[in-house]
Amino acid sequence: MSNRMFRTSRKARSSVEFGLTLVAVGTIFLLAKFDYINLRLHWWLIASVCVSGFGLLALIRAKTAGETVSALFQIFIGVWLYLCFEKVWGFNFSNSWPWMLIAYGASHVLAYFFKREE
């Protein structure tokens, strides 16, 4: 029963962190809308950094190997988005989407094997 309470508490904590992140981002956009701050950022950079940042946060909080694999995949998505948007090493969405399929499949296979060991 205490394990169930820990999961509920952890889920609630994650929800609060996500909510606070949305409030902070919304506040920044509102301040930019009213011209209190000058927000000249590249949206693709913001998206890739946010995805990788949430993946890094999940990696730090990971308690199991399956959660670690999931967090690493999320970081991979952020890096892939950045590479595609900036066209680093010739990456773009049309020529690199097979990498995403391979990584997604590999993450599920690894998560399955790590769950069996736990």
- Sign, CA dihedral 36-37-43-48, equals negative
Whether the full predicted model's pTM is greater than 0.85, yes or no, is no
**pLDDT tens-place string over residues 15-64:** 777 777 778 878 877 888 888 877 776 677 777 888 888 888 888 888 88
Which two structure tokens, joined as six digits, stand for 110? 């690894």
Same domain, 12 and 46: no
Which two structure tokens, joined as six digits, stand for 82? 């950045």
List the Cα angle 11/17/19 in 5-degree steps: 100
pLDDT of residue 71: 87
Same domain, 55 and 110: yes
Q: Could you give the C-alpha distances from 113 to 69, 103, 110, 118, in angstroms and in order?
A: 11, 15, 5, 9
Which two structure tokens, joined as six digits, stand for 32? 């930019």
Range of the domain at 45: 41-118
Same domain, 33 and 51: no
pLDDT of residue 112: 82
Same domain, 75 and 50: yes
